[in-house]
Amino acid sequence: MFLSWAFFILIIGLIQWYTFLCFKTISKNRYWLASYACFSLLIITNFIYQLYNYDRSEGFTPSISYSLGFFISLIVFQSIIVIGLFLEDISRISLAVYSVFKPKKEKNIFFPKRRKFLSQLSLALAFIPFSSLLYGMYRGKYNYKVLSYELEFPDLPSSFDGFKITHISDIHCGSFDNPEKVKYGVDLINKQKSDVIMFTGDIVNNVSKELNPWKKLFSSLKAEHGVYSVLGNHDYGDYMDWETDQEKINNLQNLKKIQREMGYKLLLNENDFIKKNGERLAILGVENWGAGGFKKVGDLNKAIEGISDSDFKILLTHDPSHWRNKVIPHNYFFPLTLSGHTHGMQFGIDIPGWIKWSPIKWRYPEFAGLYKKAKQYLYVNRGFGYLAYPGRVGMWPEITVLTLKKSKIEV
């Protein structure tokens, strides 16, 4: 523990020294240098203080989230400067070495000075991600986007041709800090006037009481066929310390109770049917199943009990790795699976039809949007809320509208 703290402080210290040199190259004015040093020091000491006092029985509070957000913004800003200066230093050192070995070296040992222009350029470039990360914290996290898709299925029951689903995920209500903006997002979901709303888990960060101030607002989600929901990895209270095991069990029971009081049809390895003109859609919901170290209590075999493979199935599962690992290889055919979990890392470049990139793609191949494999669709919602970094850049909070269409030919 001591070693990892020492290593962390050493790396942070080196970054500070290097970026300070950049500021010094631009101007030696002591107010300029002192302002920068104080600004950095304030962000770093606040973050270390919050980290050191992190209480696992409290979970991720807004103060630790914001200290993390400012810290990430600062380190990204400084890292860009470090890269710029480092590239310049390689050329400076190469020139110095060359001057030592060239003829008449005793007269011409030459170590070039840092160029002010390159320091200014590094600073200007670094300001782009820095300001984006601050914008993400101030505005981006409530910049709700409605993304609409039409999906065609040859085996869709005719009565459900044109059936509209609004899919949301990862509310994380313990993170919200602006009720007005959240209400705007909830109203936007209702404005879609879908036939059904489907929520794919992580309603809280850690503890069921986070729902109390938001229960009324999220109860106002309305659709003709109601709101279906499942649990996500954050809903089980696994990321905080509990005084007793019973306290943790009670918390989960309370979370389920609140969701049912809100009118949500919580599916825990079970299913339900939406019926229309004598035809039906099977809605299946599993508990969390995530690849790697994540909780694996989702049970697809239990969830399919009482339904036949000829039923048109819509599966709700929080973690998209479940689709790749269990859903696709399953002997039942699942035309449409809805997931969330990744948040698109709350950071990336996402221009529909052009580019979709986030560092999370290296962890989750299906990290945002629509995927298709073996004629089965997966939709990964980027999330309604946010967690840890209290912002979003590029990967905006999402409300998905999926319209099911019956296709005449096999697609």
Name the residues that contact Fe ion, by CB under 5 A.
170, 202
Cβ proximity to Fe ion: between 232 and 394 the closer is 232
Please state the closest distance from residue 221 (CB atom) to Fe ion, in A.
18
Cβ proximity to Fe ion: between 202 and 350 the closer is 202
Burial of 242 (0-12, 13-18, 19+ CB in 10 A): middle
Cβ proximity to Fe ion: between 168 and 327 the closer is 168
Please state the closest distance from residue 234 (CB atom) to Fe ion, in A.
6
Please state the closest distance from residue 6 (CB atom) to Fe ion, in A.
32
Q: Which residues contact 179 (CB under 8 A, 6 or more apart)?
A: 213, 217
Chain centre to alpha carbon of residue 174: 15
Cβ proximity to Fe ion: between 64 and 156 the closer is 64
Please state the closest distance from residue 359 (CB atom) to Fe ion, in A.
16
What does the DSSP assignment read for 121-138?
Answer: HHHHHHHHHHHHHHHHHH
403 DSSP assignment: E
Long-range pairs, 125-129, Cβ under 8 A, ≥24 = 125/80, 125/84, 126/76, 126/77, 126/78, 126/79, 126/80, 126/81, 126/84, 127/77, 129/76, 129/77, 129/80
In angstroms and rounded to an integer, the radius of gyration of the C-alpha atoms of the chain is: 26
Q: Which tokens hold the place of 99?
A: 């001057």
Cβ proximity to Fe ion: between 168 and 336 the closer is 168
Please state the closest distance from residue 297 (CB atom) to Fe ion, in A.
16
Cβ proximity to Fe ion: between 170 and 210 the closer is 170
HSE of 104, CA atoms in CB hemisphere, 13 A: 2
Cβ proximity to Fe ion: between 164 and 322 the closer is 322
CB of 359 closer than 8 Å to CB of 345 = yes
HSE of 114, CA atoms in CB hemisphere, 13 A: 21
CB of 386 closer than 8 Å to CB of 205 = no
Please state the closest distance from residue 343 (CB atom) to Fe ion, in A.
6
Please state the closest distance from residue 190 (CB atom) to Fe ion, in A.
22
Distance CA 53, CA 8 (A): 17
